[in-house]
Structure 1
């Protein structure tokens, strides 16, 4: 962990020093879209960490939009979906401020407290600020009970009414309860992050992959092909993930898949941004040009920027 922090602090600090006016160069016209990135700032006075977190937990200590641009701009990525970072929990201000500071560059996925009042009002207020999704992470051992709780149930209803995405960070064990939610809420847009973390603990289990592929029967479900650094062999060029991506393509279609890096973790030592995007853009020969375009641009644009 110390080596990782040192590496990212030095390399990203150097990138920040050399990056000038990159935000002005990133426009909303053309280019690729990275559908999953976290940003945060070392300025914990203006943007305090949530209870339970301290500065030592921030690894790297800083990952600002400018530091991100140093990685994504050379690869032709000019729009990004920001995912609210857990360090801030339900205080979405830093993400929202970065979205406002870089018009046309960012969409956002926020976190709210599903137990607080006026869920509909809070979701609509965030939508007005450019948020297009809400991150849900099942709490407790019983995912079914959590999804059935009043606040989560209300969130899925509002998401259907407002065309907002329920963005699910789940483990494979939650795929069954997710299917039940999709059955009950067929008009709610759903995004599965990181293949539901299939392969995080080794080769993807066949039965679990089948449960992910089963979600393709629900037209409103899309899947992020992302976090390659954390799945399968966890080694670039990540070709071992090709068969799982192919099966997702075969079942969902490329227009329901979207590439994402999961930065800054994708640029940990031993990994880099280029190898992540290159897997989809350059290396998987079963993908057609139109399928690559969908995964690198079209799907995320429709889901998060339209």
Structure 2
């Protein structure tokens, strides 16, 4: 089985060479690629999808250099400025440089604009034409925007990050936003990342209150539309990188070998191509 980390970020600690986004304080966590690779090797992780970090804004130079240095270990998901004069042209340029996905962050849109507006529709449509997935960093407030895009452009692959930023209720009662996320399985090109466990859970490692949600997502989406992500570098201080993978082994009832092969690597390679 090949293990692919579907969600993490890397950032440089040399702002003179790799500028930070204006107004973005340098992160305290170590997030460089060399540190990540050491942790990946210790955890027997074959590859990872690097999502362009907001720390560097739209300057992709550090991720560019990281992928160029370790092309067998890393694939990139870019970040396009929806307020740029030509966002679609920016997407074309980044994909031409080798990026295999694009992230939508609603906080980057102009005030009052939605992701399912003209700019978002143009970018989403173009992503489908280019054959790359769109990853959504969203809250439940944005679900309608995703559903609109998925309805209008059914040939574009999409990924909802981090359990859609749903959180279980402490009393175990139904969470309407999570039920709506499950209902998005009716769109066959929507996928979900099982990632950011420490943030989503109300408990400590191994985040038992999310186990049932994992199984419900498997039931609704199937394992080949789900993927595992650690959210490095944040996971390092939250639990430890290796423990970010150990969660999968702790889930009860246990995820069977065939299903786990898809979730821990197969889905990511289906959407982004092979690693190594």
The two structures have a TM-score, normalised by structure 2, of 0.91
For 1:16, the equivalent position in structure 2 comes to none
Q: 1:78 to 1:144 in 2, by over 3 A?
A: farther
Q: How far apart are residue 113 of structure 1 and its match?
A: 1.1
1:240 aligns with 2:209: yes
Do the aligned partners of residues 204 and 124 (structure 1) sit closer, same or farther apart at CA in structure 2, a change above 3 Å counting? farther
Match for residue 216 of structure 1? Answer: 185
Structure 2: tracts of 5 or more residues without a match: none
Q: Which stretch of structure 1 is more off in the superposition, 163-172 or 147-156?
A: 147-156
Pick from 188, 194, 204 the counterpart of residue 156 of structure 2.
188
In the alignment, the residues of structure 1 paired with residue 229 and residue 215 of structure 2 have an alpha-carbon distance, to the nearest angstrom, of: 16
Counterpart Cα distance in 2 of 1:140 and 1:39: 20
Kept in 2: contact 1:32–1:77 (CA 8 A): yes
Q: Which residue in 2 is equivalent to 1:123?
A: 91
1:73, distance to aligned residue in structure 2 (A): 1.5
CA deviations on 1:207-254 (whole Å, 9 max, x unpaired) are 111110111111111100011111122410112210010110000000
1:121-200 matches, within 5 Å, as 121-139=89-107, 145-199=113-167
* Stretch moving more, 249-258 or 285-294: 285-294
Aligned to 1:66: 34
SS at structure 1 position matched to 2:227: strand
Q: Does 1:46 align with 2:14?
A: no
Compare 46-55 and 133-142 and name the one that shifted more.
133-142
- Which has the higher relative contact order, 1 or 2, with Cα contacts under 8 A spaced 6 or more apart? 2
Question: How many Å separate the matches in 2 of 1:221 and 1:132?
Answer: 16
Structure 2 match to 1:260: 229
Counterparts in 2 of 1:168 and 1:144: CA distance versus 1, 3 Å: farther
Cα separation, 1, equivalents of 2:159 and 2:165: 13
Query: Per-residue displacement from partner, 1:153-179 (whole Å, max 9, x unpaired)?
Result: 110110110111111000122112211
Query: Normalized per residue, which structure has more helix?
Result: 1
Q: Do the aligned residues in 1 keep the contact of 2:82 with 2:109 (CA within 8 Å)?
A: no
- Whether the aligned pair in 2 keeps the contact of 1:246 and 1:286 (CA below 8 Å) is no
Query: Helix, strand or coil for the counterpart of 1:263?
Result: coil
In structure 2, the residue matched to 1:17 is none
Structure 2 residue 241 is matched with structure 1 residue 273: yes
Distance (Å, rounded) in 2 between the aligned partners of 1:265 and 1:148? 30
Question: What CA distance in whole angstroms lies between the structure 2 residues aligned with 1:169 and 1:45?
Answer: 28
TM-score by length of 1: 0.83
Contact 1:32 1:78 survives alignment (8 Å): yes
